[in-house]
Amino acid sequence: MENLQHILDRMKDSDGDKRERTSQKKTQLKKINHIDKSLPFSDEEMQKLEYEMLGCDSKYKEPIFKDTKEMQPNVYENKKVSDTPSKETLYLLKEIQKNISNINDKIFINQQLQETKSSNFIESIQPIELVKLMINQVDNKDEAYYQIQTEDDVKLIPLKEYYDISQFINMLEQYQYSFIVDKKLNYENVIFKNYKDKLIIISQNLLANSFKFFEKSTIIDEILIDTQNIISTLPSTRIYLEPLMAIFKEMRIALDSLEYKKQFFFAKLLNDRDLILNAILTINEMLSEYIIDSSRELSQYAEQRIQNHIDNITLTQTTRKAYYKFYKSSRDFFRSNFSKDETLDKLPFFPKQDNGNEEIKNKMNRLYRSNKMNKSHYFIQYTELIEKVRAIRNDLAHGNISKIHNDISKDIDEILIDFQYLAIDKDFLSNI
């Protein structure tokens, strides 16, 4: 019995030790669970963490983090359906907005004129290409109208009339930058047709360097009146006609000025539109005109001899050729007498024997000597201009064999700047 009791006591002690060891292990696990951060969160801890981070109970198994400020509890539970449109809705809205914009581009809403409170509106005309497309889409063109929305009502313009206006504006835009008119253009509007015909006449004489035509004709005054009338009756053309009107007004002023200033205006006008051959030919004559006009002021006798020579030219049938010879002889005279190259033979002022040759030569030399200390270098610079222009002119006349267009245009710009400085600003050949 004692042995049995002893065995039971040992088993009890062993069981106690086992329970103690198990208890110790649980205690260690609990301690490890709080110390080792890598172990998973319990469900209870996850719920506490979700509430702490989100401010509410999450409907998801993972926490959702927002970049916004801390949210208040129950926001998720009370949240309504989002008002933000979907991607599909946004795409449809953009397409609708694009279509509306296209429509607005075709039908201009015109603004009321600031200078008046009446219901006059500036009509913005569509480009000719767009008008052609519209016409191609219409079956019955005689009964078709173009619609313009104003502040008060809708204005209807017959499509044929609208096409006429669009063609007219297209012509004005091209003419302003090129002085070229398509002769095949046909207008239903008689006013447009007459205006086109006058532009053609002006272009023909500009491109032929026939500037004398404008002095003998009234066409510049006529087209100025026509321009103002069209602007008054059709305000939409104002933006296209006013630049042309400014050119014609400047031309009118230039025609009343001295010959060399007149030539300077036309040379600049032509060169600005890349008509370089016309420009260099005009400049070539312009250089002579300054010498001739200045020589008139040397003495009464010199003025008389020059005028007699010009009067004889106007009585001949070969006027252009005679003028050319006179211009050339005046340039050659100046260059041979005042160039740095002293080996040049001294040439006369007039192309033939004339009593005025010696008079002009002596007076010009006296002017040069009297300005020895302040203007003499201008004489040399002017001879260099003559040589430079002659080289460019000969190059272009023989097929432009040495320079490209941009280089020539740049040279012409520099020549015009130099001429303005010497002849217009300084007027170095004046007696004063």
Instruction: Answer yes or no: is pLDDT of 122 > 70.
Output: no
Can you give the pLDDT at residue 85?
58
- Per-residue confidence band for 427, with pLDDT thresholds at 50, 70 and 90: very high
Can you give the pLDDT at residue 29?
47
- Per-residue confidence band for 162, with pLDDT thresholds at 50, 70 and 90: confident
Rounded to an integer, the average pLDDT of 68-73 is: 45
DSSP string across 198-265: HHHHHHHHHHTT-THHHHH--HHHHHHHHHHHHHHH-GGGHHHHHHHHHHHHHHHHHHTS-HHHHHHH
- Per-residue confidence band for 135, with pLDDT thresholds at 50, 70 and 90: low
Q: Where are the domains of the chain?
A: 2-78, 170-252, 257-425
Instruction: Answer yes or no: is pLDDT of 425 > 90.
Output: yes
Instruction: Answer yes or no: is pLDDT of 338 > 70.
Output: yes
- Per-residue confidence band for 225, with pLDDT thresholds at 50, 70 and 90: very high
Can you give the pLDDT at residue 226?
96
Can you give the pLDDT at residue 145?
62
Tokens at 13, concatenated: 């002690």
Greatest extent of the chain over all pairs of C-alpha atoms, in Å: 175
Rounded to an integer, the average pLDDT of 321-327 is: 87
Q: What does the alpha-carbon distance between residue 242 and residue 119 come to, in Å, rounded to a whole number? A: 23
Q: What does the alpha-carbon distance between residue 24 and residue 20 come to, in Å, rounded to a whole number? A: 6
Taking the alpha carbons of 410, 411, 412, 413 in that order, is the dihedral positive or negative? positive
Rounded to an integer, the average pLDDT of 306-325 is: 81
Rounded to an integer, the average pLDDT of 138-153 is: 59
Instruction: Answer yes or no: is pLDDT of 234 > 60.
Output: yes
Bigger pLDDT: 245 or 117?
245
Rounded to an integer, the average pLDDT of 298-320 is: 84
Rounded to an integer, the average pLDDT of 128-157 is: 58
- Per-residue confidence band for 344, with pLDDT thresholds at 50, 70 and 90: confident
* Mean pLDDT value across the chain: 76
Can you give the pLDDT at residue 140?
52
Q: What is the dihedral of CA 68, 73, 78, 80, to 10 degrees?
A: 0
Q: Tens of pLDDT along 356-411?
A: 899 999 999 888 887 666 778 899 999 999 999 999 998 887 776 667 778 888 99
Q: What does the alpha-carbon distance between residue 396 and residue 416 come to, in Å, rounded to a whole number? A: 18
Give the range with max mean pLDDT: 113-117, 197-201, 308-312.
197-201
Give the range among 2-16, 219-233, 386-400 with minimum mean pLDDT. 2-16
pTM of the model: 0.65
Placement of tokens 């696990």 in the chain: 29
